[in-house]
Amino acid sequence: MTEFKYPRRLRLLTGRDFQYVFDNAQLKVPDQTILILARPNNLGHSRLGFVISKKNIRQAVKRNRVRRIIRESFRLNQHNLPEVDMIILARQGLGEMENDQIQKLIKKCWSRMINKSKKLKKT
């Protein structure tokens, strides 16, 4: 049976993990209010990290809400996502979006990431 948990092994935790992705991001999924950087890993599952600055989303409540929504989407879609370490970077305007808008946006980004990772594997 497929598990839909979000344990520590599915998170980018250390600065080294984040630097690994920033140094050579092979997959980029840009959008107006979000940017996803990713790099393949050999762990057999994807991992997720966030960079959401106060400059882009002023209020902590809104930053936390965005994280919660994206984490939940990741948790439910983790088995469809490629084996990559990914960082979600928030841009201006993401905190002002409604919950359902963020859910649609991240769902679109997941599908774009899946398509780009398939193209990357072919080359």
**pTM of the full predicted structure?**
0.92
- pLDDT beyond 70 at 13: yes
Task: Check pLDDT > 70 for residue 1.
Answer: no
The two beta strands, 47-51 and 34-40, are unpaired
Task: Give the rounded percent of residues in the chain with a pLDDT score beyond 70.
Answer: 98
85-to-23, 50, 71, 107 alpha-carbon distances in Å = 12, 11, 14, 17
Q: What is the pLDDT of residue 123?
A: 67
Mean pLDDT of 105-120: 94
Confidence of residue 121 (pLDDT cuts 50, 70, 90): confident
